Structures are given as structure tokens and as C-alpha cells.
């Protein structure tokens, strides 16, 4: 729109041509001819003709108006775009929108940095998948190996205490063969498998020794020495401070008469027996406990003397048990 201003207006060119014609000595007809040529040229090029007029350049004004209008429209569009972005910005009160935008930002960052991609993958892992990856809660040790407690595991124990023969029940002291024998030592050893916190199977060796009265031997002393091998089922109430338990089993009991006396009416016996008992263990450290138990050993078909009043008897034992879990 400014190009036409830099050139000589058509009317000025026509006047100049007419003046030149007159100065060169041309006739008045030549000057008129130059004027007519200029008029024709103005009609052929109306844009330059308008530019040569002394009034304002309407084309330039129109172009300026169009540019101004375009600038205003562009400004309005930019303002609207900024408002839309402000509405899409994360808000604390819209967690769903915040999560969506955060995921989008994480995806863009992960494309540029692989470590961010790994972090994004960990962040989008479901709780079930995290449970498979993360270690579970710390499990306290219950064995001497100090490893997390797991079942089944091996358990060994030794026990020692006292025993006495009774008859018919655990408290039937001074009846049957118990009336002619004294309290003696008891000992034992066990090896077992604890399958569950509350259930175990033990193999138990039991030994007991009970000396007979002088009335039952001539020229010396006689002793009833009992050895047994039994299998026991142990049921424990698992608690943190103490471990009460009960057990029952079955096995073979063999009693022999030992001593240096010349003669005695006593004789040995081998029979089937069932141990029944209660115990209480106190943990000393992980995998080691100390406790006490009492057991009644019910024998079937035993006979230690021909006299029926004193011939039968069932041992009862009270022992201290040291148990280790491996």
C-alpha cells in the first residue's frame, strides 16, 4: 500500500510532459495531445490515479483497518486459549484430573529418561503386584538357626526328673507295686517334627529306675528298671510368654529286675503302654525353651509279682524338659 507513494503521480507526469512539449517549441496541439494521453493513462491505471489525487489514500486506510482487525481477533483467540489452559490445570480438589495430568507428565518424562520410566512403572503397579514383589512382614525366628520361623522343622529335647509306680490312676500312690518300691530317677530323650505351630510328632525314649524294699529281696537290693520307646502326638497352645501343651502316645514298655540279692519274688515284664501328659514350656530364646511336664504311663497286662495285690503298677513321672528347635 506504500509503493504507490514512492512513485511520481500520473497527473504530475502528464503536466511535466505537456510542459516539455511547449518548451521544445511544440505547438499548442502537441501539448493538448500530451494532456489527452495523460488522461487516458490515468483511466487505464486507476490505482495510481487515486494515489496522485490530493485526498487520503483509502486503500491504505482499508489495509490498515484489516490489519488492526486481524490483530484484535488474534489477541482474543490467544486470551481464550490461555483461559482453557487455566481450566485444565491441576487442582487439589480434583484428584482424578490431577492423576490424569500426572500420568501424562510422567509419560513425557519417561520418553526422555529410562530411569523415570522405571519409576513410573513402579508407581502404576497394582497392590496385588506389589505384594508379590515386596517382602512380606518380618517373621520372628523360632529356631536356633535364627531364620524366620517356618514349618515343618526339627525339634529335639532331653528330660530328667523323678518317677514312682502307682496303680489304676496317676494319684494311686502306695498301691500295687508302688507300695513296695520307692521314688526313683526318670530320664528321656526325644526327636520330633513340629508340623504346625500347634501340632508335633515326637519319638520318645523313656527310662525309669525304682528300688524295691528290703522285704522283696534277700541278701541285697533289687531295682525295677524300665525302658520304653513310644511315639507321641503333642498339641501346643502357641503363645508368646508360655507354651502349654498336652500329649498322648503309644509304645512298648519293658521292665527288668536288677540287683545283687540272692532271691526275690519280683520278675520283669514287657507290655504295651500309653503315655498321657501335660506340660508347660517357657521360651528362653528363639528356638530354645525350658519347661516341666507330668505323665501317667498306663500299662496293659503288666505283672511284677505273683501276689495280685502288689503285682501290678503304672509309673508316673514328673520331669524338666529342655527343648530345642532346629
pTM for this model (two decimals): 0.57
Is the backbone peptide bond immediately before 293 cis, with ω within 30 degrees of 0?
no
Q: Alpha-carbon distance 223 to 219, whole Å?
A: 14
SS3 54: coil
Confidence of residue 7 (pLDDT cuts 50, 70, 90): very low
Q: What is the pLDDT of residue 213?
A: 87
Nearest Cα to Cα of residue 247 among 231, 235, 229, 230 = 235
Confidence of residue 2 (pLDDT cuts 50, 70, 90): very low
Higher-confidence residue: 51 or 259? 259
Contact assessment for residue 304 and residue 224, using Cβ atoms and an 8 Å cutoff: yes
Q: Alpha-carbon distance 166 to 177, whole Å?
A: 7
Distance of CA 134 to CAs 125, 127, 141, 184, 260, Å? 11, 10, 20, 57, 70
Contact assessment for residue 299 and residue 165, using Cβ atoms and an 8 Å cutoff: no
Contact assessment for residue 9 and residue 50, using Cβ atoms and an 8 Å cutoff: no
Task: Identify the DSSP state of 212.
Answer: B
Q: Alpha-carbon distance 86 to 244, whole Å?
A: 69
Task: Identify the DSSP state of 286.
Answer: T
19-66, pLDDT tens digit by residue?
555 555 555 666 566 566 666 666 655 555 454 445 555 666 677 777
108-156, pLDDT tens digit by residue?
555 555 554 555 555 565 666 655 556 555 666 777 777 777 889 999 9
Q: Alpha-carbon distance 199 to 110, whole Å?
A: 53
217-258, pLDDT tens digit by residue?
777 788 999 999 999 999 999 888 899 999 999 999 999 999
Higher-confidence residue: 163 or 43? 163
Q: What is the pLDDT of residue 104?
A: 57
Distance of CA 262 to CAs 214, 220, 258, 265, Å? 12, 7, 11, 11
Say whether pLDDT at 262 is over 80: no
Residue 59, C-beta contacts closer than 8 angstroms, at least 6 positions apart: 1, 47, 50
Amino acid at each position: 500500500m506504500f509503493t504507490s507513494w514512492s512513485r511520481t503521480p500520473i497527473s504530475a507526469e502528464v503536466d511535466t510532459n505537456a510542459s516539455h512539449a511547449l518548451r521544445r517549441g511544440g505547438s499548442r496541439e502537441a501539448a493538448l495531445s500530451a494532456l489527452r494521453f495523460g488522461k487516458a493513462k490515468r483511466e487505464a491505471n486507476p490505482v495510481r490515479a487515486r494515489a496522485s489525487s490530493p485526498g487520503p489514500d483509502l486503500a491504505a486506510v482499508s489495509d490498515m483497518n484489516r490489519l488492526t482487525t486481524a490483530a484484535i481477533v488474534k489477541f482474543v483467540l490467544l486470551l481464550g486459549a490461555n483461559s482453557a489452559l487455566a481450566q485444565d490445570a491441576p487442582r487439589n480438589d480434583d484428584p482424578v484430573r490431577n492423576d490424569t495430568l500426572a500420568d501424562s507428565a510422567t509419560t513425557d518424562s519417561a520418553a526422555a529418561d529410562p530411569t523415570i520410566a522405571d519409576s513410573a512403572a513402579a508407581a502404576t503397579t497394582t497392590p496385588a503386584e506389589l505384594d508379590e514383589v515386596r517382602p512380606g512382614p518380618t517373621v520372628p525366628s523360632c529356631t536356633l538357626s535364627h531364620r524366620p520361623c517356618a514349618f515343618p522343622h526339627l525339634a529335639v529335647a532331653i528330660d530328667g526328673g523323678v518317677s514312682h509306680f502307682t496303680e489304676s490312676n496317676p494319684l494311686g500312690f502306695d498301691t500295687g507295686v508302688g507300695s513296695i518300691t520307692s521314688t526313683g530317677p526318670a530320664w528321656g530323650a526325644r526327636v520330633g517334627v513340629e508340623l504346625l505351630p500347634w501340632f508335633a510328632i515326637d519319638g520318645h525314649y523313656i527310662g525309669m529306675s525304682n528300688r524295691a524294699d528290703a522285704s522283696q529281696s534277700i541278701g541285697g537290693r533289687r531295682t525295677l528298671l524300665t525302658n520304653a520307646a513310644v511315639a507321641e502326638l503333642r498339641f501346643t497352645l502357641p503363645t508368646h510368654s508360655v507354651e502349654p501343651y498336652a500329649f498322648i502316645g503309644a509304645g512298648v514298655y519293658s521292665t527288668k529286675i536288677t540287683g545283687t540279692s540272692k532271691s526275690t519274688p519280683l520278675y520283669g515284664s514287657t507290655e504295651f503302654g500309653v503315655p498321657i501328659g501335660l506340660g508347660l514350656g517357657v521360651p528362653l530364646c528363639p528356638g530354645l525353651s525350658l519347661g516341666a511336664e507330668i505323665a501317667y504311663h498306663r500299662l496293659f497286662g503288666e505283672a511284677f509279682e505273683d501276689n495280685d495285690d502288689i503285682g501290678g503298677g503304672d509309673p508316673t513321672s514328673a520331669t524338666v524338659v529342655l527343648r530345642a528347635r532346629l
